[in-house]
Chains A and B, each alone.
Chain A
């Protein structure tokens, strides 16, 4: 599965953005969304809060004390909400059981290393290619 780089919001630099399907764990609701491949994010999927609620993922929230290290850089603790869900790359039938993160007000959609570890990922010539690991 191969995707050309695109321009993310508020950036003039091309980036690896792919199309994914996100489902709740019971496969009742699904949404298609574009996600930025972000190897700096170690989770599976960071989802915009509006998509998190429209998929009714509040029904599958999990209890974890989450320490976020990121834009605050100082390691400031703030509330991240997580839920079980499934993610697959558009065009691929393989679903990855994922922990889907969000926070109130989040508008970003990021695919992180926990999801990427299920694939061989090649970033080359302004394209991103995914190959299933055997």
Chain B
């Protein structure tokens, strides 16, 4: 498809076009590749944040279980934000600390936080 895009940085576009020419690809193809890469970065960010939160929890869980068994932890962007008595207090803290747009992890300090999910079997037609 053809589009008209305004307000592109002139110098940046010159470099972008030069690189496309050097690589022997059309500017449209290079732009498509750049868009795909940029979109993928946004998809990876939640996974990265999730991993960061889990790493933090892993590093503190044993100590927290010893000192605060039964309580709730709130971790956001890899940082421990607080320890709470109830689930409701955690939810209120998410609101009060303006964390509703962040990638958070809530952990209830109890033994065996494991759950088995059974999804069943699908029959698909193609």
Contact = CB atoms under 8 A, between A and B. Distances in A.
A133 interface: no
Contacts of A58: 46, 49-50, 102-104
B49 to A, nearest CB: 8
Given A60-B94, A63-B113, A70-B117, A81 B50 contact: yes
Interface residues of B, number: 36
Contacts of B87: 84
A69 B114 contact: no
A53 interface: yes
Given A42-B117, A56-B101, A62 B91 contact: no
Interface stretch (B1-9, B31-39, B118-126): B118-126
Interface residues of A, number: 37
B106 interface: yes
Given A64-B113, A84-B91, A69 B118 contact: yes
Nearest to A67: B116
A71 B121 CA distance: 5
A38 interface: yes
B40 interface: no
Contact of A68 (B95, B108, B117, B125): B117
Interface of B: 43, 46-47, 49-50, 53-54, 57, 87, 91, 94-95, 99-108, 113-126
